[in-house]
Amino acid sequence: MLTSAAIKIMTHQTLKLAGMSCAGCADSIERIIKSIPGVIRCQVNFGMEQVDVDYDPKRTDLNTIQAKVRDAGFQATPITEINLESRPEKELLTKLSIAIVISIILFIGSLPMMTGLSLSFIPHWLHAPLLQLILATPVQFWCGQSFYKNAWKAFKNRAATMDTLVVLGTSAAYFYSLFLTFGSDFIEKQGFNSHVYYEASAIVITLILLGRFLEKRARKETAAAIKQLMGLQAKTARVIREEQTLDIPIEEVKVGDIILVRPGEKIPVDGIIIQGSSSIDESMVTGESLPVRKTINQQVIGATINKTGSLQMQALRVGKDTVLAQIVRLVQTAQASKAPIQRLVDRVTAYFVPVVMIIAVITFLFWILRTGNLTLALITMVEVRIIACPCALGLATPTSIMVGTGQGAKQGILIKNAESLELAQGITTIVLDKTGTLTQGKPTVTDFLTREGVRDGRELSLLQLVVSVENHSEHPLGEAIVRYGQLNQIKTLEVTEFDSITGAGVQGKVGSDFVQIGTQQWLERQGVETKVLKKVAHDWEWHKKTVAWIAGNGGLEGVIAISDVLKPFSSSVVAKLKKMGLEVMMMTGDNLETAEAIASELGIRRFFAALRPQEKAEKIEYVQKKGKIVAMVGDGINDAIALAQADLGIAIGTGTDVAIAASDITLISGDLQGIVSAIELSRATMRNIKENLFFAFIYNLIAIPIAAGVLYPFLLNPIIAGAAMALSSLSVVTNALRLRRIRPRVGG
């Protein structure tokens, strides 16, 4: 565990890696970097071809780390963002194209030998060993150049990788055929078959190159979520400077700039509205489909779309400080992290290649000693080396993590790391905060009743008086009344002699009318008779609503009920969580009566009320001691202690720094359905990882013995072995991509 002192001086760096060919390469790089004095943490992600390094800048530096990686035969360059637009390497495509053409010619020329048939339509010279040698050589040493380079890197680092297996296997087939080409008489005198296997080595190399090409393309698809997020940002901004309107690149926008945003345009950066109002489509950032009404003094998020009105906004956060940039960074970090299940895979992968090489040698010795058939012994050894695939194991976990976290980001679910994603599928108890989580988090007017009813428009005229006075109040209940007035398109009037009485209410003069809004006790002390509306008020209070009494010129005029209402999907989310087999609890700082009413309405049987922040954490600890794996859902700020105590913290927030820092998972939109989606996504991802690992293990457990000849006289052709190896990695990546189809729904 890192000390606080170490954390303070630690420098974090993400590097893009080049030259990796398999999981063994990733393991070698990780081992090399960790051996550097001053490196605190190192984590290589083979799927994303990048490494995250934490180091002490007083003991080492970036240049040293890069030099060590370079000495090992790889390249490491700092990145701020992943270039998702780059196509698979041009060189790889060129070599693959040439290898395919040559392999087809070799295959056709070898058909008579492979089938044992006399195929007259194939020219005899096409399967002449010398011609096949000429054709196979460039495939072996130019198209397959990367295999030799990477195998040599591994050898220098005292390691063995998949490239080692490919080089040993194909080289054995090539050089054995080369010997037969010029020494067939010697072989035949020994009673051995003199068939050459140039086509096998060439086609195997071609198939593996094809597999890598397809794998690279598929792996790029796993990063589609980041690509989509990065593509959301506006390219330009319309800035007002020195009374001139200028269109400038987004990179040149500065904090404090005044920006004009017209209807239908993207909001370029995070900011605050200083003029105008509009409906803002925030779905691309929050996952919330319905537009949100925004007006003066309200903040807007960069990359969201201004739907209806013209706005002037002041830039608050630009560049890497915007909410979108934070989201991209968080998703990149999550995709690069390792799940706990990956540790087992890493241990297996580290021993995989040496074990396969030992098996290959044993296979060769077994068949040469038992049959004396050099060809049989050689072919089975080559097949063992070629068919084994550590890459399938190496890709099984990271590709699923990449797709899973990316899919979450598209739905407004920010997952901090792979460990959080894995943990989410194992929780047994979920604790829900009330205010701001189950409820809207802001008081709302639910009822409004006047003493005189609606006769002669008295209801609207009284509401206008009340809203005008409350417009000068900073109390949350007053703000709720003002919002209610805005919804009813009430225009405020000038107020004089305004006064706020703490714990009682507010009062002021609107024209000739003296208006008072406050508690029943306060108005009664002012001589206002409240008896006529007492029964109505009592009924509202029984439903856990706060009642504000209204008096005009010393007489009772009406009452307003205010409540922090439940979010639209609170009931269905709680029901869904129960259906998923989770124990649902509620914790709140509110009084027992309110908590009981909310819990009863939602069907939550176990709840705790009147809790301070520390007491919430203590309750969670108590539940954990009972053997439960607990997830806490809160607002990410007030519930920070409880979120930290829980096994998994889920923050209902707006994507702020605090919310992200306080939680393992952040639901940007505040939509409770995100809780269900996050858990279902976690379960689907872990199920996908287990499928990948099962396939990778089973493939090798079945394929290697068959290649070794356990089904003799049935033997695999080296070409089939090469194809199987190439396709095994591709199938793992393709299976991971199925996670992109996941669309969790509460009502489903």
Q: pLDDT digit string (tens) for 42-94?
A: 888 776 678 888 898 888 988 899 998 888 878 888 865 444 444 446 778 88
- With cut-offs at 50, 70 and 90, classify the pLDDT of residue 334: low
Residue 565 near residue 587 (C-beta atoms within 8 A): no
Q: pLDDT digit string (tens) for 684-737?
A: 988 988 888 888 888 888 888 988 888 887 777 666 765 676 677 678 778 888
Q: pLDDT digit string (tens) for 34-44?
A: 999 999 888 88
| pLDDT at position 228 | 60
Report the candidate in 419, 437, 420 with the shortest Cα–Cα distance to residue 636. 437
Report the candidate in 16, 20, 55, 18 with the shortest Cα–Cα distance to residue 35. 55
3-state secondary structure of 51: strand
Residue 431 has pLDDT above 90, yes or no: yes
3-state secondary structure of 18: strand
Q: pLDDT digit string (tens) for 448-470?
A: 999 877 666 778 889 999 999 99
Buried b or exposed e, range 508-530, using 16+ CB within 10 angstroms = bebeebbbbbbbbebbeeeebee
What do you get for the CA distance between the two ends of the chain, in Å?
A: 42
Task: Provide the mean pLDDT of the chain.
Answer: 80
| pLDDT at position 746 | 47
- With cut-offs at 50, 70 and 90, classify the pLDDT of residue 656: very low
Report the candidate in 526, 562, 564, 597 with the shortest Cα–Cα distance to residue 449. 562
- With cut-offs at 50, 70 and 90, classify the pLDDT of residue 507: very high
Report the candidate in 118, 114, 110, 104 with the shortest Cα–Cα distance to residue 715. 114
Residue 94 near residue 101 (C-beta atoms within 8 A): no
Residue 543 vs residues 9, 297, 638, 708: alpha-carbon distances, Å: 55, 34, 26, 76
Of 591 and 73, the structure prediction assigns the larger pLDDT to 73
pTM of the model: 0.62
Question: What CA–CA distance (Å, rounded) separates 718 from 179?
Answer: 18
Residue 109 near residue 131 (C-beta atoms within 8 A): yes
Residue 173 has pLDDT above 70, yes or no: yes
Token pair for residue 531? 């008896």
Q: What does the DSSP assignment read for 236-270?
A: EEEEEETTEEEEEEGGG--TT-EEEE-TTPBP-SE
Mean pLDDT in residue range 370-387: 79
DSSP state of 491: P
- With cut-offs at 50, 70 and 90, classify the pLDDT of residue 115: low
Question: What 3 state SS string does 369-396 have?
Answer: HHHCCHHHHHHHHHHHHHHCCHHHHHHH
Beta strand spans in 451-569 (E):
496-501, 505-510, 513-518, 546-552, 555-563
Q: pLDDT digit string (tens) for 116-134?
A: 566 677 777 777 888 888 9
| pLDDT at position 655 | 40
Amino acid making up residue 43 = Q
| pLDDT at position 3 | 46
What element of type H or E holds 314?
Answer: strand 311-317
| pLDDT at position 290 | 62
Question: What CA–CA distance (Å, rounded) separates 633 from 587?
Answer: 10
Question: What CA–CA distance (Å, rounded) separates 507 from 155?
Answer: 85
Q: pLDDT digit string (tens) for 210-265?
A: 766 766 665 565 555 556 666 667 888 889 888 788 888 888 889 999 999 988 88
| pLDDT at position 628 | 93
Helix axes 198-222, 90-115, angle to 10 degrees: 140
- With cut-offs at 50, 70 and 90, classify the pLDDT of residue 637: low
Token pair for residue 235? 């390219």
Question: What CA–CA distance (Å, rounded) separates 427 from 631?
Answer: 6
- With cut-offs at 50, 70 and 90, classify the pLDDT of residue 636: low
Residue 639 has pLDDT above 60, yes or no: yes
Mean pLDDT in residue range 667-696: 86
3-state secondary structure of 3: coil
In the annotation, is 321 catalytic?
A: no
| pLDDT at position 668 | 76
Of 221 and 142, the structure prediction assigns the larger pLDDT to 142
Of 149 and 166, the structure prediction assigns the larger pLDDT to 149
Q: pLDDT digit string (tens) for 90-107?
A: 778 888 899 889 988 887
Q: pLDDT digit string (tens) for 177-194?
A: 787 788 666 555 545 455
| pLDDT at position 583 | 94
Indicate the burial class of 255 (C-beta count within 10 angstroms; 0-12, 13-18, 19 or more).
middle
- With cut-offs at 50, 70 and 90, classify the pLDDT of residue 6: very low
Beta strand spans in 68-183 (E):
75-78
- With cut-offs at 50, 70 and 90, classify the pLDDT of residue 577: very high
Q: pLDDT digit string (tens) for 600-634?
A: 889 999 998 877 778 888 899 999 999 999 999 98
Residue 313 has pLDDT above 90, yes or no: yes
Mean pLDDT in residue range 595-603: 86
Report the candidate in 744, 673, 748, 739 with the shortest Cα–Cα distance to residue 288. 673
Mean pLDDT in residue range 197-212: 76
Residue 473 near residue 504 (C-beta atoms within 8 A): no
- 633 beta partners: 432, 650
- With cut-offs at 50, 70 and 90, classify the pLDDT of residue 503: low
Catalytic residue among 27, 433, 664, 671: 433
